[in-house]
Amino acid sequence: MSRVARLCVGVLVAANGAASSMASDAYRLTIQPESRVVVDNLIFAPSTGTLIGNYDATTNPTGTRTLPGIFGGSGNNPIPVSVDVAVGEESETSPGGVLTLLVNPGAGTFAISELWIDLLNEVVIEAPISATITYSTFRTVSPSFLYPGGIPITIPIGNAQITVLTATLGAGDSIGTLTPNGDGSFTLAGAASLDVTFDATVLGQPGQGGTFAIAAPIGGTLTPTVDGATLTLGISLSNSSEIPGPFPAVENVPLDLPTLDPNTPAKVLLTLEFLRIDVTIASEIEGVATGPRLCQGDFNRDGSADILDFLDFFDAFGGCQLQPSPCPDPLRDADVNSDGLVDILDLLDFMQAFAEGCA
C-alpha cells in the first residue's frame, strides 16, 4: 500500500471514530489474592562476643558460672567466642501490589512503567535463628561441665521477624518481548529493574534493613479483554548483598548450652557484636494480575488526558517519524496504532484518542 493510500485510510478511520484493530495499550493491573510468594531468604552474620554464666551473687546465687581453661579459676568470667549467626527458613505468603504494563503487539515489545509489590502483604515471617559458636576451652559450674576448645556448638537462639519485604520499580530498563500465542494471548519474557527493601527484628531488637537493586527475570501470559487484561505473572528475585555497618550490639541473650544431661543445661548469657551482615534474597512470585486498559489519550500515564499529554506525544512523535517502534523508547512509544512504524497514522490516532478524552 502506498504512503498516500495509507494516509487516506488513516483519515477515514479518524473521521469515523473507529478504533484501531491493533493498538499500543497500557494496563494497570492489580495482583489478585490467589497469588503466592515463596520466600527463602537467608541472613548470615559473623560476629564476636562473650559467653558468661547467668550467676549473680544476689539475684541468682545458684546460677551457672563460667571459668576459662580446664582447671582453676574462680568467680564468673566472660568467655570470648566467635559466632556465626544464621537466620532463614522457607515461607509462603500472598502478595499484594500493582503494575502498569505498556504493550506494543506490532513491535513485539512490552515495558513496565510502574510496579509496587508487597511480598509479605501485612504478614510477619517468623524465621528461626541458629548460632554456631567457636571458643577456647572453658568449663562451667552449676552444672559442672567441660567444653573443649575447637569443637563448635550449633544451637537455636531464638527467632527473627521479617517485617518488610517490598519490590518497587528501580532505575534501569524494565522491558521485554511480547510474542503472540495464536489464541489472542501473548507471552511476556524480559527483566525488571527492581529495588527490593527488607527490614527485620532480631532477638526482639530492631535490625538494620536495606534496599538492593535487582535485575529480576519476569515472564507470564497476557490475555487482553474488551476493557482490560489478565496477566499470569512470574518474577524471580535473587540477590546477595552485604549490609554496611555499624550494627547495634546484641546483649545478654539467655542461652542454654548442652551438657551430658539434656535436662540440666548450662545457662549462660550471650553478647554479640556483628562484624558484617550478608543477606541473600531468593523469592519466587507466582500469581495473577488483572485490571483495566488505560485511556489512550493519556500518553504520559498520569491519569488524565491534558495539554501535557499533547506536548509529550508531539515531542516523541517529532523525533520518530518513519522510525520503527518502539520509538523513542518503550515507555514513550509514539507508535500508537502498533503497526511497527511511527507515521502520520499514529498522529491521527492519537488526535482522535485525545479528542475523546478520558472518562
Can you tell me whether residue 342 is helix, strand or coil?
A: coil
pLDDT digits (tens, 9 = 90+) for 52-64: 999 999 999 999 9
Angle at 81 between CA 260 and CA 67, to 5 degrees: 60
DSSP alpha helices (H): ranges in 77-131? none
Q: How far apart are CA 262 and CA 132, in angstroms?
A: 19
pLDDT reported for residue 181? 97
Is 70 exceeded by the pLDDT of residue 214? yes
The CB-side HSE value for 233 (13 A sphere, CA atoms) comes to 32
pLDDT digits (tens, 9 = 90+) for 8-60: 333 333 333 333 334 688 999 999 999 999 988 788 889 999 999 999 999 99
Rg over CA atoms, the chain = 30
Q: Each residue of 232-245: b (16+ CB within 10 Å) or e?
A: bbbbebebebebee
Q: How far apart are CA 121 and CA 89, in angstroms?
A: 18
Mean pLDDT of the 310-338 span: 88
Is 60 exceeded by the pLDDT of residue 102? yes
DSSP state of 275: S
pLDDT reported for residue 21? 36
Mean pLDDT of the 304-315 span: 88
pLDDT reported for residue 176? 95
What backbone torsions phi and psi does residue 350 show, to the nearest 5 degrees? Answer: -65, -40
pLDDT reported for residue 215? 92
- From 203, 216, 212, select the one nearest 254 (Cα to Cα): 203
Joined grid coordinates for residue 187? 507471552
pLDDT reported for residue 8? 35
Instruction: Using pLDDT thresholds of 50, 70 and 90, give the confidence band for residue 297.
Output: confident
Is 70 exceeded by the pLDDT of residue 206? no
- Cα 12 to Cα 3, 23, 351: the distances in Å are 14, 17, 13
What backbone torsions phi and psi does residue 184 show, to the nearest 5 degrees? Answer: 95, -10
pLDDT reported for residue 207? 62
Q: What is the identity of the amino acid at 311?
A: L
What backbone torsions phi and psi does residue 51 show, to the nearest 5 degrees? Answer: -115, 140
Strand partners, 99: 29, 115
pLDDT reported for residue 210? 78
Among 11-20, 133-142, 293-302, whose mean pLDDT is lowest? Answer: 11-20
Mean pLDDT of the 210-238 span: 91
DSSP state of 226: S
pLDDT reported for residue 326? 87
pTM equals 0.74
